[in-house]
Amino acid sequence: MSTAARVETITESSLEEAAALIRAGQLVAFPTETVYGLGADATNDQAVARIFEAKARPQFNPLIVHVRDLKQANCHTVFDETATRLSAKFWPGALTFVLPRRTGSNVSKLVSAGLDTVAVRSPAHPAACRLLELAKCPVAAPSANRSGYLSPTTADHVVEDLGEAITLVLDGGPCSIGVESTIIDLSTKPPSLLRLGGIPSEEIEAELGPLQLAGSETILAPGMLANHYAPATPIRLNAQHCQADEALLAFGPNPVVGAKVTENLSPKGNLVEAAGNLFTMLHTLDVEGCTTIATMSVPEYGLGLAINDRLRRAASGRR
Ligand code: TXA
Ligand code: MG
């Protein structure tokens, strides 16, 4: 049974409680200077899957990871000279960098929807800063609204839209900027602007020279990014049997038998668990040297819709 979220004003004790909930794998809505974020421990696959469930997103779009500072960002992404220079100028603040994922980073693969890049931002809002300090983990946080609805700039907006899906909303009053952060992709040469936002692009261009704004389809549907993750091994959907040279991505208590190697998204048939495991298991099966990765069908509701969407894209191959 869902109940309405509890709203707490910002105090050291509400921040401590929020940090404890995040560390325990729960979702907490919190203010940033841009919009309210729906935060979860970015290193916890299940917690990240809950974000997609709460937002009712039919697709796994990559999420922004919030960090305390450059040092924490650097544990999970590779900062080159340009990223270091821009972060010195604009962090903490409304600028997000897409950077190569650092080898060994424990950020959930679901956060970046399987891509080998991670988007990082160090927010300036004092409550967000303190929450990140207390939580100690990097915090994945998209805007705290249901997919397709407006981004929330007050705690009331969050409660109206997502109240039943979250435990705690930290109320820090209205957001000072009110639009999402600007996103710049520094993993490509030359860099490109992925989203216009809180930091005017002119200010970034003053540092980097003229920038290309990536195609509008990238902004509207980042799940369709041209370089979306697809395994090198061909995917076969809706497997009902398996051959000895195939890998199996199973779901539920009765996996198909006969595969060379099997990973089960959720033996219990739980879609949140399955979503959390999806990208890690696809990666694992991809390196087994099998002819095909056969995938069992997943129910077409809740997070099953997003899982199936991603599997169909993976089956359609690299673009
Ligand atoms: O202002 C903000 O940035 C707010 C507040 C809460 O901080 N957060 C926010 O996060 O807007 P989110 O997760 O909704 O932003 C997701 C967008 C994606 O739609 C995509 O454009 C981009 O960030 N993104 C994230 N990771 C990416 C990646 N690895 N490659 C390319 N784009 C990425
Ligand atoms: Mg949003």
pLDDT tens-digit map of 120-171: 999 999 999 999 999 999 999 999 999 888 899 999 999 999 988 999 999 9
Would 247 be classed as within a structural domain? Answer: yes
Domain boundaries, position 250: 235-315
Claim to verify: residue 35 and residue 139 sit in the same structural domain: yes
Residues whose beta carbons lie less than 5 angstroms from ion ligand 2: 143
Residues 169, 302: one domain? no
Q: Is residue 227 part of a domain?
A: no
Residues 114 and 205 in one domain: yes
Are 83 and 129 in the same domain? Answer: yes
- For residue 1, is it within any domain? no
Is 43 within 8 Å of 108 (Cβ atoms)?
Answer: yes
Domain membership flag for residue 243: yes
162 and 67 belong to one structural domain: yes
Ligand nearest to the CA of 228: 1
Q: Clarify whether residues 201 and 311 are in a common domain.
A: no
Q: What is the pLDDT of residue 218?
A: 45
Residue 222's pLDDT is what? Answer: 47
Amino acid letter for position 74:
N
This prediction's pTM: 0.91
Q: CA 254, CA 266: separation in Å to the nearest integer?
A: 11
What spacing in Å lies between the alpha carbon of 64 and ligand 1's midpoint?
4
Ligand that comes closest to the CA of residue 142:
1
Domain assignment present for 31: yes
pLDDT, tens digit only, all 319 positions of the chain: 567 899 999 999 999 999 999 999 999 999 999 999 999 999 999 999 999 999 998 889 999 999 999 999 999 999 999 999 999 999 999 999 999 999 999 999 999 998 999 999 999 999 999 999 999 999 999 999 998 888 999 999 999 999 889 999 999 999 999 999 999 999 998 999 999 999 999 999 999 999 988 864 444 444 444 446 678 899 999 999 999 999 999 999 999 999 999 999 999 999 999 999 999 899 899 988 899 999 999 999 999 998 998 899 888 865 4
Determine contact, residues 208/191, Cβ cutoff 8 Å: yes
Candidate from 76, 180, 196 with most ligand 1 atoms within 8 A of CB, to mutate:
180
Q: Is residue 167 part of a domain?
A: yes
Residues 163 and 272 in one domain: no
C-alpha span between 81 and 104 (Å, rounded): 21
Of 213, 245, 278, which one is at a domain's C-terminal end?
213
Q: Closest by alpha carbon to 186, among 99, 61, 112?
A: 99
- Site residues for ligand 1, CB cut-off 6 Å: 32, 34-35, 37, 61-64, 96, 98, 112, 115, 117-119, 121, 123, 141-143, 180-181, 183, 185, 194-195, 222
| 296 is a domain residue | yes
Could you tell which of 27, 35, 61 is best to mutate to test the pocket of ligand 1, judged by most ligand atoms within 8 Å of the CB? 61
Going from the Cα of 119 to the center of ligand 1, the distance in angstroms, rounded, reads 7
How many domains are contained in the chain? 2
- For residue 277, give the CATH number of its domain: 3.40.50.11030
Residue 129 lies in a domain: yes
Distance, in Å, from the CA atom of 143 to the CA atom of 154, rounded to the nearest integer, reads: 11
The closest ligand to the CA of 35 turns out to be 1
Query: Of all atoms in ligand 1, which is nearest to the CA of residue 119?
Result: 26
Q: Please check whether residues 150 and 247 belong to one and the same domain.
A: no
Q: Note whether 186 and 263 are same-domain residues.
A: no
Q: Tell me the CA–centroid distance for residue 142 and ligand 2, in Å.
A: 6
The enclosing domain of 181 has a CATH number of 3.90.870.10
Q: Distance from the CA of 305 to the center of ligand 2, in angstroms?
A: 19
The number of the ligand 1 atom at minimal distance from the alpha carbon of 140 is: 13
Q: Same structural domain for residues 67 and 201?
A: yes
Q: Residue 133 is encoded by which pair of tokens?
A: 């300090």
Atom in ligand 1 nearest the alpha carbon of residue 187: 30
Instruction: Kindly give the number of the ligand 1 atom that is closest to the alpha carbon of 113.
Output: 29
Are residues 137 and 281 located together in one domain of the fold?
no
In this structure, the answer to whether residues 258 and 292 fall within a common structural domain is yes
Query: By alpha-carbon position, which residue is closest to atom 31 of ligand 1?
Result: 98
Ligand closest to 36 (CA) is: 1
